[in-house]
Amino acid sequence: MLKKRELLLSQRQFSEDETMVPVLTSRKASELPVHEVVCVLQADLQVGLNQEEVSRRRAYHGWNEFDISEEEPLWKKYISQFKDPLILLLLASAVISVLMHQLDDAISITVAIIIVVTVAFVQEYRSEKSLEELGKLVPPECHCLRDGHLEHMLARDLVPGDTVCLSVGERVPADLRLVETSDLSVDESSLTGETSPCSKSTVHQPPSSNGDITSRSNVAFMGTLVRCGRAKGIVIGTGENSEFGEVFKMMQAEEAPKTPLQKSMDLLGKQLSLYSFGIIGVIMLVGWMQGKRILDMFTIGVSLAVAAIPEGLPIVVTVTLALGVMRMVKKRAIIKKLPIVETLGCCNVICSDKTGTLTKNEMTVTQLFTSDGLHAEVTGVGYNGAGEVLLDGDVVHGFSCPSISKIVEVGCVCNDSVIRNHNVLGRPTEGALIALSMKMGLESLQQEYVRLEERPFSSEQKWMSVRCVHRTLKDKPGVIFMKGAYEQVIVLCSSYNSRGSTLSLSAQQRELYQQQISYMGSAGLRVLAFASGSQMGNLTFLGLVGIIDPPRSGVKEAVGMLISSGVAIKMITGDSQETAVSIASRLGLFSKGSQCLSGDEVDHMDLQQLSHIVLRISVFYRASPRHKLKIVKSLQNIGAVVAMTGDGVNDAVALKAADIGVAMGQTGTDVCKEAADMILVDDDFQTIMSAIEEGKGIYNNIKNFVRFQLSTSIAALTLISLATLMNFPNPLNAMQILWINIIMDGPPAQSLGVEPVDPDVIRQPPRNVRDSIITRSLLVKVLVSALVIVCGTLFVFWRELQDNVITPRDTTMTFTCFVFFDMFNALSSRSQTRMVHELGLCSNKTFCYAVLASIMGQMLVIYFPPLQNVFQTESLSLFDLLFLVTLTSSVCLVSEAIKILERWRGAEKSRPSDCFHEV
């Protein structure tokens, strides 16, 4: 103990000398009592730090974030591009040209290398920056006491000495020495690997038992997740000074795994590289045997390798995915993992929560039914006191009708939410009950009771209870107030209230209440039951409240659109059957022939039995998170790709098991968001449809890019191969081939990745998850386009070569022909199904600018004297250009004809069925 006092004094001395509080290690903080930790960190548990003190501490300790990655200088990244084997071979070719006194060739090759390297550098830089942006989409938040107010703020703003409040589902924002706990259990698996949650307390730890971090039961570590209970703690370590700092450094060292699409693009690139090297080797060998200069053949071979090998393919895929994710953010959907963008287009079943996703989550009490048979109407909407409670046309206020007042009293006291400035802080259902008490003038009841004990609401037990005592009767035993689902509350009741008297609960009364619940539920109301008493299991039933939660606008249309495109939608809710079916019918989810299933029925089925009937079920009622997991597994059993929504702590397992876990941004807990792949910022179901639409669009854009790049690669390889085998002079020189590579990997190709999403894409059926991106249809289009380009370019070359002497004009015509073919090929590659005139020439402005820039560049190459020397070109007449434009447009016309043919064949086939295809 003496050592602790000396340590404390030395730290106080440090504070006085440096005018700054120290950072306490978790070991040190766990060994000190709460009051000493408060003293060392100069904290205030009641008021918190003021803004001036926060700024002073932040200037010393920095932000509560990790900034450990040393950014590599841009010039180093640029230089590293020259390490590519093909670029080194080109540099070797330039050096050999210098040694052989061919300075023109050396300068030309060097200029081309610089351009190629610059394009690659810009692509990689864009990719890195796009991925960096993704990491900033979900900043962690927390509840912190500052200047006497509990504020909701970003976790990065915390400093040592701050007082932080934790509740169920939240992520711990910094290392905290706990000062108050209530049934707190924390999941530390992200830090320690321990799968079972750790119970926490505030008791300080003896040094003898203070081993590794798993033994520190009074410290909550940064990055861990609150599984249950509540707590208050003092920040002892932020950023790199937290226990998570070292773990984070190790995580940074690990590279994120590539998406399946990126892997398939890598494989495709490697296969094409292998074939290209083989063909290029044959070209160089045949050319050398034909007596052509070995250096020329080497330079052309390497240039062809640079052009034909699609090294930019994986990079463009990454950039397209990342830019698509950034576009989704504007549509209020945050994608946490890139592979999910691919999975979105395959999704064929959506399991959605009702409350807050399909409905507005703006709860308003509209009806009351007392245990003694009184039926009252409630007017007014929103979280405010505007409105009245009417019984037979008369206004009920205060305690004028005890039967109604008792229900309102329980709803107000058995409640953890608060209404501030017409907004509810807490659960919307509880907000509706507070608003009801405001309409009755009974909102002050919440402060009149002292809470002795609480059993919080959980999706498993479906009720909440508090034991409390009136402030004026503290010597009396406490009374229990309970609210929850009728089926769960009624089993704990033995009597009911009748005009102030307590009568035994009969089967007849239960039947009356059941009828009333059916009546309210069929009107789409969510029904809550209320009870009070001195002993659990012997409570007095007080009555029912009907709460309306209207469907979100636009959800019905979104549901209809998704169902028509082959996506099945299942609604999962904790509400009664009547309420669930009523809402589902309004949204178009439940019609004649549809079936519903209760959570209890799901419990009594094994996975195989559920898998047999799950397709026919549209609504799961009285369901809890554990049922969600079973539903997901049963759907996956029959080959479905499932998206599952959730917001609670217990939803995390189901979200992780689903192919696409969707967390709620507003009502979702941190645990839930951690497990999810996608977060809906506004909790709106329509956003899921937008995300699926965007996912399909991104995949189509990548297919468009692959089609363009493959057809150009194949055309370039085939052109040089045929010319060599036919003993023609080379139709393109090394510089011209490198210029074609810049166009193939450069702006026109990149712009295909940002093509606006086709509005009709959402109507397309879900993609089979096992389908390759290189489909038969795509391959046909690639080969046909390549064939047209090769035939057209060889025709121009043959036409210009009538005198059997190759001149700069011959290669200029051939070169420009190939480049123009590329531009028209890019135009037709903008969509695999829609015609160019349907897309609109200017609908993708980036594409227009890219093509314009490429054509301007080509004009400079032809007409600008310094570039004429580099590329060995000469000026062409207007007639030449018109002839080339007319000829090269043929590749676009042929592609459009294929689209018409596919559309005609597709019209003959039957439309997709309403249920998903087997995958």
Q: Closest by alpha carbon to 526, among 670, 443, 622?
A: 622
Q: Answer yes or no: are the C-beta atoms of 738 and 306 closer than 8 Å.
A: yes
User: What is the spatial distance between Cα 647 and Cα 661, in angstroms, rounded to a whole number?
Assistant: 10
Separation CA 744–CA 751 (nearest Å) = 11
Of the listed 105, 187, 353, 758, which one is catalytic? 353
Determine contact, residues 308/276, Cβ cutoff 8 Å.
yes
Tokens of 610: 């559920």
Cα distance between residue 916 and residue 340, in whole Å: 19
User: What token pair was written down for 850?
Assistant: 């890219």
DSSP codes joined into one string, 541-589: EEEEEEEE-PBPTTHHHHHHHHHHTT-EEEEE-SS-HHHHHHHHHHHTS
In 779-843, where do the E strands start and end? none
Q: Measure the CA–CA gap between 816 and 819, rounded to whole angstroms.
A: 5
Number of H helices, E strands in the chain: 35, 28
The structure tokens listed for 319 are 């950039």
Q: Determine the Cα–Cα distance for residues 41 and 590; give it in Å rounded to an integer.
A: 59
| Nearest-10 crossing angle of helices 734-745, 294-308 | 10
DSSP state of 220: E
* φ, ψ for residue 177, nearest 5 deg: -90, 115
If you search the block for the tokens 């190790």, which residue do you land on? 250
| Element spanning 335, H or E | strand 333-335
Rounded Cα distance between 297 and 293, Å, is 6
User: What span, in angstroms and rounded, lies between the C-alpha atoms of 120 and 471?
Assistant: 73
- Given CA atoms 80, 81, 87, 92 in this order, what sign does their dihedral have? negative
- According to DSSP, the residues that pair with 153 across neighbouring strands are 142
Helix axes of 260-289 and 294-308: crossing angle, nearest 10 degrees: 160
**DSSP class per residue in 440-457:** HT-TTHHHHEEEEEEE--
Write down the residue that tokens 């010393």 correspond to.
60
Q: Which two tokens stand for residue 420?
A: 């501030």
CA distances in angstroms from 497 to 369, 500, 518, 543, listed in the order given: 12, 6, 21, 8
Grouping H, G, I as helix, E, B as strand and the rest as coil, residue 532 is strand
Three-state secondary structure call for residue 212? coil
Closest CA to 733 of 120, 301, 308: 301
> In this structure, are strands 660-664 and 678-680 parallel, antiparallel, or unpaired?
parallel
Written as six digits, the tokens of 382 are 């929103």
Residue environment code for 369-391, b if the CB has 16+ CB neighbours within 10 A, otherwise e: bbbbebebebebbbbebebbbeb
Phi, psi of 498, rounded to the nearest 5 degrees: -135, 100
Distance, C-alpha 131 to centroid of its chain: 13
Instruction: Look at the block and give the residue holding tokens 């005609």.
Output: 904
Tokens 């999403």, residue? 757
* Residues 618, 770: Cα–Cα separation, whole Å: 27
| Catalytic residue list contains 353 | yes
Quote the radius of gyration of the chain (alpha carbons, Å): 35
Separation of alpha carbons 15 and 33, rounded Å: 19
Catalytic center residues: 353
